Amino acid sequence: MTLLLAEDDPELSRQICAWLTKSGHAVTCHANGSDALNTALRQAFDAVILDVNMPGKDGFEIVTALRADNDLVPVLFLTARDSVTDRVRGLSSGGDDYLTKPFAMEELSARLEALNRRYQQSATGQRRIGEWVLDTRQRRLRSSNDFIDLQPRECALLELFLDHEGRTLTKKFLLDKVWDIRFDPGTNVVDAMICRLRRKLDAPGHATCIQTVRGKGYVFKALS
């Protein structure tokens, strides 16, 4: 993807740039809101990452200006404020997603992928997992001679894993996308749900398709 990053903290900007470049994206970096807006207006990007508080123009102003220019590029806000009001302001001004600092780089990538996919509108009704086909409408995994019924959240979780195959997804990201919860409850609710999904998906004697990455989250690897 070609990405635009506007972040005024030099160290954070460097880290994000390094991570995204290493992940194979082309990144243009700016530390000033006005410069970022000028670049975004001149050049086409697959996604834009904006810090909320910046000299020049803040993130909200940049999005408003972009949308006023009919630019529908997906926008992800980075912010040091964990307030719903800010989040709502960001999304209502035309932003597409919102990530609170500090964050895991993997989560940034996952969110960018999700944004890009939504932008490309490439979501399909049916997904393949080895011999299984996931039917999201009926919330059912089907094979030629068998089927597994899924609970609504299990289905949403599996769909999310399929969307981000091979990407380590953090608990925070899963809670946000599947349960619409933006904090981590004390009880290991996500672990329990993943265990349940594993029990349904994993054939006895085979390696699990949803692996735990210690300290980071979970990664889905398709059955070979």
> In angstroms, what is the C-alpha Rg of the chain?
19
Q: Where does this chain touch another protein (CB under 8 A) — which range of 9-17, 60-68, 111-119, 202-210? A: 9-17
**What SS3 state is found at 211?**
strand
1 binds another protein (CB under 8 A): no
- Report how far apart, in Å, the C-alpha atoms of 65 and of each of 13, 50, 55 are: 23, 13, 16
Binding mask 190-219 for another protein (x = CB under 8 A): -xxx-xx-----------------xx----
Q: Where does this chain touch another protein (CB under 8 A) — which range of 110-118, 127-135, 179-187, 201-209? A: 179-187
Binding mask 38-57 for another protein (x = CB under 8 A): ---------------x----
> Which residues make beta-bridge pairs with 128?
133
Residue from 122, 144, 145, 187 binding another protein (CB under 8 A):
187
The count of residues interacting with another protein (CB under 8 A) is: 42
User: What separation, in Å, do the N-terminal and C-terminal C-alpha atoms of the chain show?
Assistant: 27
Q: Report the nearest approach of another protein to the CB of residue 40 (Å).
A: 23
Six-digit token string for 117: 């996919």
Q: Which amino acid is at 141?
A: L
Q: Where does this chain touch another protein (CB under 8 A) — which range of 60-68, 79-87, 109-117, 128-136? A: 79-87
CA-based torsion, 115, 119, 122, 125: positive or negative:
positive
Six-digit token string for 64: 């408003």
Q: Report the nearest approach of another protein to the CB of residue 69 (Å).
A: 29
Count of Cβ atoms closer than 10 Å to residue 97 Cβ: 21
* Pair 152, 160: CB distance under 8 Å: no
125 vs 123: CA distance, rounded Å: 7
Residue from 2, 18, 92, 130 binding another protein (CB under 8 A):
18
Q: Toward another protein, which CB reaches closer, 16 or 27?
A: 16
The one-character DSSP state at 122 is: -
What residues line the site for another protein (CB under 8 A)?
9, 11-12, 15-16, 18-19, 53, 80-85, 88, 100-105, 151-153, 179-189, 191-193, 195-196, 214-215
